[in-house]
Amino acid sequence: MNGFKRRALPRPTRRRVVASATVLVLVAALVTWAALPERHSWTATDQRITVRSGPAGTEPVDLDTRFYLPKDRDGKVPAVLLAHGFGGTKTSVGDDAESLADRGYAVLTWTARGFGASGGEIHLDSPDYEVRDAQRLLDWLAERPEVRTDAAGDPRVGVVGGSYGGALALLLAGQDPRVDAIVPLITWNDLGRSFFPQSADGVTTPGVFKKGWAGLFFGNGSASPAGGPPRAGGDPACGRFAADVCAAYLKMATTGVPDAATTALLRRSSPATVLDRIKAPTLLIQGAVDTLFPLSEADANARGIAAAGTPVRVAWFTGGHDGGLGPQTDQDRTKFLTAQWLDHYVKGESPAPENSFTYSRVAGFSALDRGLVTNGYSDPAYPGLAGSGRTEISVSGPAQPIANPPNGNPGALSSLPGVGDRLSSLLGGVAGDLGGQHATFESAPLSAAADVVGAPTVRLRIASPTGSATVFVKLYDADQNGTATLSGGLIAPVRLTGLPEDIAAAQPVMVTLPAIVRRIDAGHTVRVVVATSDQGFLTPADPAVYTVAVEPAVTLPTVVGTPIANPQVVWRYVLLGVLVAIVLGVVAVLLVRRRREAPPVAEFADTPLVVRGLRKAYGDGFVAVEQVDFRVERGQVVGLLGPNGAGKTTTLRVLMGLTMPTSGDALVFGRPLTPGAPILSRVGALVEGPGFLPHLSGYENLRAYWQATGRPMADARFEEALDIAGLGDSVHRRTKNYSHGMRQRLAIAQAMLGLPELLVLDEPTDGLDPPQIAEMRRVLRRYATDGRAVLVSSHLLAEVEQTCTHAVVVNKGRIVAAGPVSEIVGESPSVQLSVSDVTAATSVLESLDVRGVQRDGATDLIVDMNGTPREEVVASLVRAGVGVDRVVPRRRLEDAFLALVGDNSRGSGDR
Amino acid sequence: MSSAATGYRPSATLPIRAEIRRQASRRRTQLALGFMVLLPLIVLLAFEFGGGNDDDNGGGAFSSLVDLATSGGLNFALFAIFVSAGFLLVVVVALFCGDTVASEASWGSLRYLLAIPVPRARLLAVKLVVALAYSLTALLTLAGTALLVGTLRYGWHPLGSTVAAEIPAGQGVLRLLAILGYLAVTLLGVAGLAFLLSVLTDAALGAVGGAVLLWILSSILDQITALGSLRNFLPTHYSDAWLGLLSTPMQTDDVVKGAISAVCYATLFWSLAFYRFTRKDVTS
């Protein structure tokens, strides 16, 4: 019954236990790692701080703050005041705060007045309100026992912020000398110029109202807090804006021209007014994909601060209010620059940062996340917007009439304010000009690539029947296929007055285009487009037709920067290291595995086969061979006889080097048989049926086999082998069409190729017809004549008896008899008698001098004669009146076989 | 004194030439290589008879490879590679590497090779080298045929791309070779997996199918962004990095990482295959 039980689990061997344990430990580690909460290196405290500000410093306002402190601090730590952008809260700078706290800074973030959970109204970074709030926060920091101070009430502090927070950093540094360093990102210099940009040089009238961005800016501030109820009692038009700011916006959005009050208000909120008072070293980071605060804003800040003798450094990245944070490489660079700046000027630790100017240029798309990839470059000093070099090109085109659409509709599209982080689509070009509304002036294909870094300039002439004109100048990079790209979606708005009606009378006006970073490849053309409308700007409502011309000369500022080593380059060395390690590993394995052949066991050097104490237990615990010892001498044909499952095939597999014995060994001419042992080349084998390539003919199979031995063709003795196979013309047919017997004969022929000294054949007559069996017996006997030996396995008694000179009988994995066939098969002391009366015969026999009388069926008796002649027994029986039908002498092999197998018809495989 | 039969040297067994011939005569090999020739012709016919512009399939910046496919021989070859890199080449490589040992086992000829004896490590090494050689041949056949028929039909033009500037034809050929080189390297991963399975199983179909299935599984997992940076360790994560070789200057960061990933995986799988095969009982 045991045979029917199946184990639910495999038997636990040592290997399985080790493997399961390893897997378990790995899974446990992974789960633990995933489940454990992150351990922070800092603590954060939320609290509301009430500060007093306003013109008189007496108006209290509640600020929602969060204070980060590094856990692991040595005494007092320097602090960073981290300001958020317009419309954000203290949580929008959480990531930056955490990474600064990680670097050992006490970080104070707060929600600016008028936003989130803080009280008060939005005064647009007014020196009396937001800036004064920040001054009070400096006071608060100075009182923290954990924060380092320069003097009583003067904390060691840097101010970092982007956009709205960046302007605050500049204004605060200009207003409060306690600030030790600032890092303003993507912020403005002059808010008036940002909302009313004017790109024509030397023109002082305000430019064109940037309605798209202004509306977005205003909308952000007037919206009620997310999820909260509408603010009661407030002016629905103004939201949380202070009354003066709200009035200024409403007025400028209506007219498109700022009045004196608005101009003053915007002026008050502009760092431009305080640059000469900034003493804190300043790192200015500005985005090249920013139509709100373009690179020129940072340029103005840099020049202003440098004029006061304060250290200032400029970095550009590919991103901004339109482009978002930019590619990872750019984020890493700006983060590094910020940390380096603060570490030196606030913490006072690392050496002074270089003064180099760094920027990045789009190199292409990442194949993996479809994002942009940029390369970083550096130049020893900040060159400004005019570049360190210049390329003059000329564009051509006739003076062209262009129409201003009424109320700016339909309007051309150049950027998508507020969509944010649409870097790739932006660079792919959302720009589109409308027919009749733009004039085009194009250059010849560039003979050499130009690395444009800075603001290109063109000279424009305009004639207008009304005397004034609002136009937008754009610079496209057009490739050979005509695809034109507007870098960053940046355009130059120009509003001119006092224009003549005739283009011939128009004076050229220098227009500085927005600063860009772009490589214009050789073969590309530069296309200057002058358009009358843009959806981002407020254009004159009345229709008009202008005539525009562009002077041929266009100046492209260039910088040839040094590429910044990409940290990703390290992977190249990793790859190299991996390859070297693999090569070394392979060499090491080859050296270790190089083994000399073991010397022969001299005693058996001339014996074709000696099997000693062979045992094979399989991984699942099944023992196929318990203990097998036998020898095959030269000239012998040895039969390995046993029932199915006795262990014959396993023994032969060991002899072929396919299976490793658990213990014991097999020696061929004294050499142990291990997998791949060269001695195997002197053994020919057929085990468990033929194995041929089905798509090759019999002949090709034999050739392919012999080729695989690498031995000379002449040694193969193909003719003899083919003779033995006896396949005739069929030898040229594909083996997949062969009958079982044909394959068997071919396999025997293959085993005999090269006439190996020991031939091992597993059930060779399987599938052969009687004449072929007879022929095969002759072949095998003849094969063993000149010193060679043959080992044949069979489960058929007659087979072994007729083919072999010697026999080895195995059962249940053990040898039960061995010796010359004549000896084993010779006369046995017992006979089988068929008699007419079994009972009478038994009594007669018992009176004779015989041993053991056994009944065997209804009419048969098996008698051990004990030397008594058979004729005497028969005579005695006949005399006693018992009829004798048959007297069959029994043979020893049969005895042995019956003793082993007769009582166990299930076969030993079921053990 | 060697104990071996005269003329037998372990290092001379199963010569590479013999293994190449063993595989070359198989219908499977002939069909796979034949298809590599056929595919560009089918694609060409599809372009010829397809007519009209299909609507934008929204494949991002690289959908342009389809639009540009008929702009010249180089672009046509690039397109042929683009459409076959994700699946066809994986199947072909899995076929060559997954079938090689398992099929011998299923025919029963493996035990006779081992009884010659071909040393087990040598048997694997020769089988692997030949399988890789056939895989490379398939890759080059595909690209070569596509380049040839594309050039004959659409002419010899610079390699166009809307991602970056046009690449002059001469340099375009180099880029194409670099792409093929990278593909060859990334396919080492699937080659390693298929080869390992080939050693572990006697069913050739199981080895090939198993390798392809696991590859698809890895691709699916790679689509699940929630896995975050764990995806970087998937063998298929960098399989599209060759597209970076089309921009100017070339984006090689992901290519390098992809090469590291592929080489590591291939080494791991092959090491396991050799470890297992040199120790196991061959029972087929």
Tens digit of each residue's pLDDT (9 = 90 or more) over A781-828: 888 888 899 999 988 777 888 888 998 988 888 888 888 887 776 666
Residue B124, number of CB atoms within 10 A of its CB: 22
Q: What is the mean pLDDT of residues A53-79?
A: 89
Return the structure tokens found at A354: 């270089």
Q: Which residues of chain A make contact with B7, given a CB cutoff of 8 A?
A: 710-712, 715
Highest mean pLDDT among A661-675, A816-830, B176-190: B176-190
Which residue in chain A is spatially nearest to B271 when comparing CA positions? A586
- Which amino acid would we find at residue B91? V
Q: What is the mean pLDDT of residues A43-64?
A: 90
Q: Give the residue among A184, A206, A183 at the shortest CA–CA distance from A195.
A: A206
Alpha helices per DSSP H over A144-259: 164-175, 191-195, 211-222, 243-255
Contact (CB<8Å) B260/A578: yes
pLDDT tens string A765-786: 888 888 888 888 888 888 888 8
| Model confidence at A250: pLDDT above 80 | yes
Which residue in chain B is spatially nearest to A656 when comparing CA positions? B115
- Which amino acid would we find at residue A426? L
**CB neighbours of A240 closer than 8 A, spacing ≥ 6?**
A114, A115, A121, A122, A221, A222, A231, A234
Residue given tokens 């209290």 in the structure block? A60
To the nearest whole Å, the CA of B281 is away from the closest chain A CA by 5
Confidence (pTM): 0.76
Q: Are strands A663-668 and A671-672 parallel, antiparallel or unpaired?
A: antiparallel
Residues 368-427 of A with CB under 8 A from B: 368, 370, 373, 375, 424
Residues 574-593 of A with CB under 8 A from B: 574-575, 578-579, 582, 593
Which residues are paired to A286 by β-bridges? A316
| H-run or E-run covering A474 | strand A469-478
Distances (CA, A) of B182 to A365, B113, B187, B254: 18, 34, 8, 11
Given pLDDT bands bounded at 50, 70 and 90, which one contains residue B162? Answer: low
Distance from C-alpha of A137 to C-alpha of A159, rounded to nearest angstrom: 11
Given pLDDT bands bounded at 50, 70 and 90, which one contains residue A426? Answer: low
Summary mean pLDDT of chain A: 85
Distance from C-alpha of A180 to C-alpha of A154, rounded to nearest angstrom: 10
| H-run or E-run covering A395 | strand A389-396
| Model confidence at A345: pLDDT above 50 | yes
Distance from C-alpha of A522 to C-alpha of A450, rounded to nearest angstrom: 8
Identify the burial level of A544 via C-beta atoms within 10 angstroms of its C-beta, where 0-12 means exposed, 13-18 middle and 19 or more buried.
Answer: middle
Q: Classify A382 as helix, strand or coil.
A: coil
Distance from C-alpha of A535 to C-alpha of A516, rounded to nearest angstrom: 21
Q: What is the 3-state secondary structure (H, E, C) of A312-349?
A: EEEEEECCECCCECCCHHHHHHHHHHHHHHHHHHCCCC
Residues 60-79 of B with CB under 8 A from A: 60-62
Return the structure tokens found at B233: 């360790």
Contact (CB<8Å) B257/A677: no
Name the residue facing B6 among A375, A593, A715 (closest C-beta).
Answer: A715
Residues 808-837 of A with CB under 8 A from B: none
- Which amino acid would we find at residue A892? R
Cα separation of the two ends of chain A: 11
Q: Give the residue among A529, A519, A514 at the shortest CA–CA distance from A413.
A: A529
Residue A847, number of CB atoms within 10 A of its CB: 9
Task: Assess B267–A contact: CB distance below 8 Å, yes or no.
Answer: yes
Return the structure tokens found at A817: 């008899």
Residues 682-711 of A with CB under 8 A from B: 682-683, 685, 687-696, 700, 704-705, 707-711
> What's the confidence (pLDDT) of residue A7?
53
To the nearest whole Å, the CA of A626 is away from the closest chain B CA by 18
% pLDDT > 70, chain B: 91
CA angle A343, A348, A350 (to 5 degrees): 55
> What's the confidence (pLDDT) of residue B61?
46
Question: What is the radius of gyration, based on Cα positions, of chain A?
Answer: 50
Q: What is the mean pLDDT of residues A624-629?
A: 90
Contact (CB<8Å) B108/A688: yes
Is A780 in contact with A803 (CB distance < 8 Å)?
A: yes
Q: What ipTM did this prediction achieve?
A: 0.90
- Which amino acid would we find at residue B84? S
pLDDT tens string A850-883: 777 778 777 888 887 777 788 888 888 888 888 8
Q: Give the residue among A36, A38, A37, A103 at the shortest CA–CA distance from A72.
A: A103
Task: Assess B99–A contact: CB distance below 8 Å, yes or no.
Answer: no
Is B240 in contact with A368 (CB distance < 8 Å)?
A: yes
> What's the confidence (pLDDT) of residue A906?
44
Given pLDDT bands bounded at 50, 70 and 90, which one contains residue A357? Answer: very high
Distance from C-alpha of B276 to C-alpha of B199, rounded to nearest angstrom: 8
Given pLDDT bands bounded at 50, 70 and 90, which one contains residue A2? Answer: very low
Distance from C-alpha of B253 to C-alpha of A358, rounded to nearest angstrom: 21
Name the residue facing B61 among A424, A678, A707 (closest C-beta).
Answer: A424
Task: Assess B241–A contact: CB distance below 8 Å, yes or no.
Answer: yes
Return the structure tokens found at B45: 């016919």
To the nearest whole Å, the CA of B1 is away from the closest chain A CA by 9
Distance from C-alpha of A415 to C-alpha of A432, rounded to nearest angstrom: 10
Q: Classify B108 as helix, strand or coil.
A: coil
Contact (CB<8Å) B8/A593: no
Distance from C-alpha of A361 to C-alpha of A723, rounded to nearest angstrom: 79
Q: Give the residue among A421, A435, A410, A408 at the shortest CA–CA distance from A493.
A: A408
Q: Which of A369, A571, A673 to mutate to test the interface with B (most CBs of B within 10 A)?
A: A571
To the nearest whole Å, the CA of B4 is away from the closest chain A CA by 5
Q: Classify A620 as helix, strand or coil.
A: coil
Is A417 in contact with A216 (CB distance < 8 Å)?
A: yes
Q: Give the residue among A508, A494, A491 at the shortest CA–CA distance from A540.
A: A494
Q: Which residues of chain B make contact with A572, given a CB cutoff of 8 A?
A: 256
**Residue A861 phi, psi dihedral angles, 5° rounding:** -130, 140
Residues 154-213 of B with CB under 8 A from A: 160, 162-166
Q: Give the residue among A415, A743, A404, A393 at the shortest CA–CA distance from A554.
A: A393
Given pLDDT bands bounded at 50, 70 and 90, which one contains residue B56? Answer: very low
Contact (CB<8Å) B107/A659: no
Given pLDDT bands bounded at 50, 70 and 90, which one contains residue A905? Answer: very low
| Model confidence at A169: pLDDT above 70 | yes
Is A792 in contact with A640 (CB distance < 8 Å)?
A: yes
> What's the confidence (pLDDT) of residue A515?
94
Return the structure tokens found at A428: 């792919």
- Which amino acid would we find at residue A108? L
Between A177 and A567, residue with greater pLDDT = A177
Q: Give the residue among B216, B205, B182 at the shortest CA–CA distance from B86.
A: B216
Question: What is the radius of gyration, based on Cα positions, of chain B?
Answer: 21
| Model confidence at A902: pLDDT above 60 | no
| Model confidence at A907: pLDDT above 90 | no
Q: Which residues of chain B make contact with A582, given a CB cutoff of 8 A?
A: 263, 267
Contact (CB<8Å) A367/B27: no
Q: Which residues of chain A make contact with B3, given a CB cutoff of 8 A?
A: 597, 600, 669, 671, 678-679, 682
Q: Classify A428 as helix, strand or coil.
A: helix
- Which of A77-81, A205-209, A791-795, B50-54 has the least mean pLDDT? B50-54
Q: Classify A799 as helix, strand or coil.
A: helix
Distance from C-alpha of B137 to C-alpha of B134, rounded to nearest angstrom: 5
Residue given tokens 């053994």 in the structure block? A683
Strand segments (E) across A803-864: 806-811, 814-820, 827-835, 851-856, 860-864
Distance of CA A677 to the CA centre of its chain: 42
Distance from C-alpha of A630 to C-alpha of A816, rounded to nearest angstrom: 11
> What's the confidence (pLDDT) of residue B34?
95
Whether residue B117 is preceded by a cis peptide bond, meaning omega within 30 degrees of 0, is yes
pLDDT tens string B104-123: 999 999 999 999 889 999 99
Contact (CB<8Å) A368/B115: no
| H-run or E-run covering B259 | helix B253-277
Name the residue facing B27 among A480, A682, A695 (closest C-beta).
Answer: A695
Distance from C-alpha of A656 to C-alpha of B84, rounded to nearest angstrom: 44
To the nearest whole Å, the CA of A684 is away from the closest chain B CA by 8
> What's the confidence (pLDDT) of residue B104?
93
To the nearest whole Å, the CA of B197 is away from the closest chain A CA by 19
Task: Assess B12–A contact: CB distance below 8 Å, yes or no.
Answer: yes
Is A178 in contact with A156 (CB distance < 8 Å)?
A: no
Name the residue facing B3 among A575, A593, A678 (closest C-beta).
Answer: A678
Distance from C-alpha of A364 to C-alpha of B245, rounded to nearest angstrom: 10
Q: Give the residue among A60, A31, A46 at the shortest CA–CA distance from A97.
A: A46
Task: Assess B119–A contact: CB distance below 8 Å, yes or no.
Answer: yes
Task: Assess B225–A contact: CB distance below 8 Å, yes or no.
Answer: no
To the nearest whole Å, the CA of A163 is away from the closest chain B CA by 30
CA angle A755, A756, A757 (to 5 degrees): 115
Residue A298, number of CB atoms within 10 A of its CB: 29
Return the structure tokens found at A78: 């320097």
| Model confidence at B63: pLDDT above 80 | no
| H-run or E-run covering B32 | helix B27-50
Residue B206, number of CB atoms within 10 A of its CB: 17
Q: Is the dihedral of CA A442, A444, A449, A451 positive or negative?
A: negative
